[in-house]
Amino acid sequence: MLNEPGRKSVSTMVFWFVIVLFFMLLAGVIGNERSNAAQNSARGALTGSAANVADEAAVVEYTLRTRIGENPAMAYVGVGGDIDGVVNPALVVNVGDKVRITVINGDPTLHDLNIDAFNAHTGELVAAEQTATVEFVATQAGMYEYYCSVPGHREVGMKGTLDVVGEHTGQVVQVADTGYTAAAAGAPSSPAAPAAGPADAAAAIISRNPADVPPTVGDRGPQTIEVDLETVELNGVLADGTTYRYMTFGGQVPGPMVRVRVDDTVTLVLHNQEDSQLSHSIDLHAVTGPGGGAVYTAVMPGESASFTFKALAPGVYVYHCATPSVAHHITSGMYGLIVVEPEGGLPPVDREYYIMQGEMYTAQPFGTPGQLDFSYQAMLDEQPQYYVFNGAAGALTQDAFALHANVGETVRIYFGVGGPNAISSFHVIGEILDRVYDLASLTSPPMTNVQTTLVPPGGATMVEFKVEVPGRYILVDHALSRLERGLAGYLIVDGEANPEIFFSEEAPDGSGH
Ligand code: CU
Ligand code: CU
């Protein structure tokens, strides 16, 4: 209008100016109660006339409440006004409006709200009913996304649009770029890694001792049993001087080995620790039923849930958290094995060990000291920095967690891959696997005399071998680049030399490749 004075009469201008003022006032007084009609009128009035009202910019307020567990799985729901009850409502404002968005945390788990273009970030909301407000001026017309940045939340539905209506004011507007958006849009993505925070001096040793294996069920009949698992989020030692925020079953990686008998009736009780930031669940591959139980065990912090299943088939099965982002929860440590033994129990051996492989997607490169961040983009790209047995780099090469056996003993290893993505080519350097229960099938005859065996993510194997020669044997994934990213374990065999099987006059120089 100002640009084209010849086309509008002065009275028209005054009329629109009054209308604009009216709606500015309306918006200011009733905040998020503003109506669509009001927005539409204001939109029309403001077009091209931002200069008129620059000093009297409207304050537009919206309130959103986070919601979990409906459809979509996670969302923001409008509170008050036109958007009341609307899932992921479109928020409509005019160029130049001062926008105030309040987020109420609808559940006691971690969420936030971000509109990158306007550098609007609520920061973390953790407790139920906690609120945070962002305020910014909608300086540039366009459609922008608001979303939750907790890994997986945006992907399962925590997002909506902010529609800034009106014409470009001609000003150059600084638009923030998080790197996430650019990468998702296909732009070249190699943003510099964020600096690691200081390592958590109180970080726990999260690696489970591979000797932590419950006793065989033996020769008993089917029973009804209860298995209690607790989900625990904690800072743990990923490598020497390096810590990471783990999610676990029971505070260790992998979670406790569960051992039952075929035809047992198992009540699985999952409790989510009070101070968790996220909800969790459990999917056991030994379960026949929806989601492997996950759909019945989505538990908020401080809550418990349970379901009962019959263990129909013997095998060594992976269990894992199935809460979005599932891959994020798994890479952070939420996996374990449940062994369903056949009738009569598994044949006794001298030593049993429990090992699981995973890979870790940190934002900082392998070997960076400090508290490392999880990188959602690296996970999507399947570009891990760390590969781990039992949760931490080199954990099973340390004295406390190395495997031990004596010459002449038979060793059984329950080996699973939590992943979430990488297949393992499991190998024991210097040994031949006498028996491989391929893919952890305990009802098929084992393969014999295997050098390296494949284990898929979400899969397992059971291997057995007799140790004949003393020395140090190294457990690896024979995709050996991963050895240099933390993936190794030791089996120390003690006993008399066995020159008939192995002999050298040289002094040993390590034991590896
Ligand atoms: Cu969220
Ligand atoms: Cu989880």
**Residues 323-376 pLDDT 10s:** 999 999 999 999 999 999 999 999 999 999 999 999 999 999 999 999 999 999
Q: How far is the CA of 416 from the centre of ligand 1 (A)?
A: 30
- Ligand 1 centroid, distance to 58 Cα (angstroms): 29
Ligand that lies nearest to the alpha carbon of residue 68, given by its number in the listed order: 1
pLDDT at 53: 45
Band of residue 156 on the pLDDT scale cut at 50, 70, 90: confident
**Distance (Å) from CA 16 to ligand 1 centroid:** 41
Average pLDDT, the chain: 87
Tokens standing for residue 498: 């066995």
| Confidence (pLDDT) at 335 | 98
Mean pLDDT of 1-19: 48
The CA 139 to ligand 1 mean position distance, Å, reads 26
Do 331 and 359 form a contact (C-beta atoms < 8 A)? yes
> Is the pTM above the cut of 0.85?
no
Ligand nearest the Cα of residue 281 is: 2
Question: Looking at the predicted structure, is the pLDDT value of residue 26 above 50?
Answer: no
Cα–ligand 2 centroid distance for 263 (angstroms): 28
CA of 329 to the centre of ligand 2 (A): 5
- Closest-approaching ligand to the CA atom of 326: 2
pLDDT of res. 19:
52
What CA–CA distance (Å, rounded) separates 176 from 448? 59
The alpha carbon of 184 and the centre of ligand 2 are apart by a number of angstroms equal to 24
Ligand nearest to the CA of 233: 2
Backbone angles phi, psi at 5, to 5 degrees: -65, -30
E runs forming strands in 191-263: 224-239, 242-249, 258-261
DSSP class per residue in 241-260: TEEEEEEEETTBBSPPPEEE
Q: Is the pLDDT of residue 413 over 60?
A: yes
Residue 8 has pLDDT above 90, yes or no: no
Q: How far is the CA of 144 from the centre of ligand 1 (A)?
A: 18
Residue 309 CA to ligand 2 center (angstroms) comes to 21
The predicted structure's pLDDT at residue 400 = 96
**Which residues line ion ligand 1, judged by CB < 5 Å?**
111, 148, 150, 153, 158
C-alpha 462 – ligand 2 centre gap (Å): 26
Q: Can you give the pLDDT at residue 338?
A: 98
Distance 104 CA to ligand 2 centre (A): 22
| Ligand number with the minimum distance to the CA of 72 | 1
State the average pLDDT over residues 297-316.
97
Ligand 1 centroid from CA 141, angstroms:
26
pLDDT score of 151: 85
pLDDT category of residue 512 using cuts at 50, 70 and 90: low
Mean pLDDT along residues 132-151: 93
SS3 for 319-368, per residue? EECCCCCHHHHHHCCCEEEEEEECCCCCCCCCEEEEEEEEEECECCCCCC
Tell me, in angstroms, the distance from the centre of ligand 1 to residue 329's CA: 14
Q: 224 or 48, which is more confident?
A: 224
Per-residue pLDDT band for 42 (boundaries 50, 70, 90) equals very low
For residues 341 and 223, the answer to whether their CB atoms sit within 8 Å is: no
| Whether residue 39 has pLDDT greater than 70 | no
Q: Report the separation in Å between the CA atom of 420 and the middle of ligand 2, taken as the mean of its atom positions.
A: 13
Locate 426 and state its tokens. 């499991």
CA of 110 to the centre of ligand 1 (A): 6
Q: How do beta strands 335-341 and 258-261 pair? A: parallel
Q: What is the mean pLDDT of residues 275-284?
A: 96
For residue 184, is pLDDT > 50?
A: no
**Separation of 368 CA from ligand 1 center, angstroms?**
28
Ligand nearest to the CA of 105: 1
Kindly identify the ligand whose nearest atom is closest to the C-alpha of 276. Answer: 2
Which residues are within 5 Å of ligand 2 (an ion), measured at CB? 280, 321, 323, 329, 334
pLDDT digits (tens, 9 = 90+) for 453-471: 999 999 999 999 999 999 9
Distance 214 CA to ligand 1 centre (A): 37
CA atoms within 13 A on the CB side of 201: 0
Distance (angstroms) between ligand 1 centre and the Cα of 111 equals 4
The rounded percent of the chain whose pLDDT value lies above 90 is 78
Q: Which ligand is nearest to the CA of 247?
A: 2
Cα 26 to Cα 38: distance, rounded to the nearest angstrom: 8
Number of residues written out for the chain: 513
- Residue 124 CA, ligand 1 centroid: distance in Å: 9
pLDDT value at 33 more than 60: no
